[in-house]
Chain A
Amino acid sequence: MAEYILETKDLGISFGGLKAAQDVNIRIKKNQIYGLIGPNGAGKTTIFNLLTGVYKPTAGTFYLDGEELKGLPQDKINHKGIARTFQNIRLFNNMTVVRNVMVGLHDRPEFHCSVLETLLRLPRYFKTERAMRERAKELLRIFDLEEDRNNLACNLPYGKQRKLEIARALATNPKLLLLDEPAAGMNPHETEDLVKTIQFIRDSFDMTILLIEHDMKFVAGLCDEITVLNFGTVLAEGDTKTALSDPAVIKAYIGG
């Protein structure tokens, strides 16, 4: 067990000369809720894309629980234990809610079932299929989505879609959960609800969470520590209150 669940070392990427992120060092301890904030275009989502293998870092590297994951393809990184949600929700829209979550369970070893076994409808097929459905239902119950399980994902209201995306990510059994602007587009009531849900996930799943957010109140009320990015570099980091009151951070946000 490494000291940090996630550790990035001088992580950076440049797109043809443009340095979208450089020298980013983030250290997240187990069970933390960690915030990644910064103005638009600061490179927050880029960091998520680096951590999930969408982009390959051109500088530095990162470790999950002590294991270097740089250069792995996206699905392998997910198997190693990083799951994410997207800024603009990406669900499997024409599949039912429960099936969305079952896709998340797909590569869990306890639900293994080979193609041949499914084609021949051997007993294991029925067993895993039933077990997956049950597990998915449990997850949906936590997010208050059990009633909607047979609806198409695209027919869910916005707030529920966000929740479903988190449920699907959790289904992959991650060590680190990345949430990209989970409160975007939510009303104050829903946001409050979301804070509780995220804390609940941390506590009951023993989860470490890294999230991107614009809503400062949300961040201040939820995150243990934060990193503030601006123009792809780290502006400030550390304990949420201290980092937010850093003059450089205030300047970057208010402008000047």
Chain B
Amino acid sequence: MMKKIKWNHYINYIVIGLLTVVLSAIALAGGHFDSSMLFLLEKVAISIILAVSLSLVVGFLGELSLGHAGFMCVGAYLGGKVAALLEPALGNGPLNFLISLLVGAAVAALCGIIIGIPALRLRGDYLAIVTLAFGEIVKSLFQNTSDESFDGALGLDTPRYDKKYLFIFAFILVLITLAVVQNFIRSKHGRAVTAIRDNEIAARATGINVTKYKLLAFTLSATFAGVAGVLYSFSNYTVQSMKFGYNYSIEILVMVVLGGMGSINGSILAATLITFLNTKLATVLTGDLAVLQNLLYALILILIVIYNNAPALKSFRDRYNLGALLRKLLRHKHDPAKIKDDAAKWDVVPTKIEMNEILSIDMTPQDKKGNTGNGGEH
């Protein structure tokens, strides 16, 4: 049983690691990929990094960030600029890439701290609105920069890194993101973060420094958005602030919601799926039809969230969820020990967040009824 859990923990490393090795072997051996395929692979990697890092805030901390694209934007501009400045001295090699990456990530982290301090002290929907504001501020600032600094509305040109190998770096970065986020979540520090999500008041009373952990999780998430941004600037050769608007942040949110909040593996799957879908849809749905994609996102958000969270559907969910279905298929349904162990998995359990009280500013006994909801009424 122990083995089974571990396997589930590490399957994502294995899949992505194998993918990286196989694809790079093909690329290095013959270079059979056309540039659009490489571009797609890079895009998938970027999406996974974004979704996994956002999942840390939305799924595990239980707060909503609508400025993930803003942090990415900061990373893309700063990383791209540093790369352009270093190009004469260091050329286009991995060293340049690494330095730009560190700078982009560090500046995004700094922005995360600056935004997190005022927003995370407050409960409720403030983080959502402040991060949204942050995204808009970043966009508007970079849009109005001069030609000498970030090239304003025209966009910043970044060095043309050898595309043949960029996707290998991209996948290595995915692995690093995964390792950091998963190691964080599956530690005492991650436990503190989930405790805050489940019941902030109890977490405080249990000695958890709530502000510290909120800020830590949020900053970590912003850092990796910055990493994704740097990767983006290398992958696209150009950075335009218009691309990093509210809609992009929502797209990342859709990946997290579709994958199941609190599920890292789900985020990876959904990020891959949506990125592929986007590329496919972009060729099919042109002109006015392009909006159908937004319609799809909207429906995903509404239907999945209502299905996963509506109190009235609770018994239905308990009976017919994916986990139960899998257990049935694997004929584990009569093995209570098995069910118990599933509860011990990090990745499966917190897909739905029932914490009606912790985020709201005031709480009435009315609301609590639904939450205890398991014989807890008195």
Contacts and interface: CB of A to CB of B under 8 A. Distances in A.
Nearest to A117: B187
B199 to A, nearest CB: 5
B8 interface: no
A154 interface: yes
Given A93-B354, A102-B191, A106-B188, A169 B378 contact: no
A111 interface: yes
A94 B205 contact: no
Interface residues of B, number: 43
A84 B183 contact: no
B372 interface: yes
Interface in A74-131: 74-75, 78-79, 83-84, 86, 88-96, 99, 102-104, 106-107, 111, 113, 115, 118-121, 125, 128-129
A150 B189 CA distance: 19
A151 B210 CA distance: 25
Interface string B215-229: 010000000000000
A71 to B, nearest CB: 15
Contact of B199 (A90, A132, A152): A90
Interface of B is mostly: helix
Interface stretch (A21-29, A155-163, A203-211, A244-252): A155-163
A52 interface: yes
B207 A78 contact: yes
A93 B199 contact: yes
B375 interface: yes
Contacts of B197: 94
Given A90-B201, A150-B341, A150-B344, A115 B184 contact: yes
A107 B207 contact: yes
A94 B354 contact: yes
A66 interface: no
A94 B198 contact: yes
A104 B371 CA distance: 22
A8 interface: no
A115 B208 contact: no
A115 B186 CA distance: 11
A84 B378 CA distance: 20
A41 interface: no
Contacts, number: 137
Nearest to A161: B376
Contacts of A184: 378
In this complex, the member of A104, A132, A155 whose beta carbon has the largest number of chain B beta carbons within 10 angstroms is: A104
B192 A106 contact: yes
A64 to B, nearest CB: 14
Contacts of B343: 96, 150-152
B183 A104 contact: no
A64 B208 CA distance: 20
In this complex, the member of A78, A88, A94, A150 whose beta carbon has the largest number of chain B beta carbons within 10 angstroms is: A94
Q: How large is the interface on A (under 10, 10 to 19, 20 to 34, 35 or more residues)?
A: 35 or more
A168 interface: yes
Contact of B210 (A54, A75, A129, A132): A75
A203 to B, nearest CB: 24
B47 interface: no
Given A94-B349, A169-B206, A185 B187 contact: no
A113 B206 CA distance: 18
A111 B188 CA distance: 9
Contacts of A158: 374-376, 378
B195 A92 contact: yes
A99 B191 contact: yes
Pairs A-B, 7 closest by C-beta atoms:
A185-B378, A78-B207, A118-B187, A92-B198, A90-B202, A74-B204, A103-B195
Interface of A: 52, 54, 73-75, 78-79, 83-84, 86, 88-96, 99, 102-104, 106-107, 111, 113, 115, 118-121, 125, 128-129, 132, 150-152, 154-158, 161, 168-169, 171-172, 184-185
24 contacts: A52-B205, A75-B204, A75-B209, A78-B207, A83-B205, A83-B206, A86-B202, A86-B205, A91-B198, A94-B197, A106-B191, A106-B192, A107-B208, A113-B187, A118-B187, A118-B189, A119-B180, A119-B184, A119-B187, A129-B187, A129-B188, A132-B188, A171-B206, A172-B207
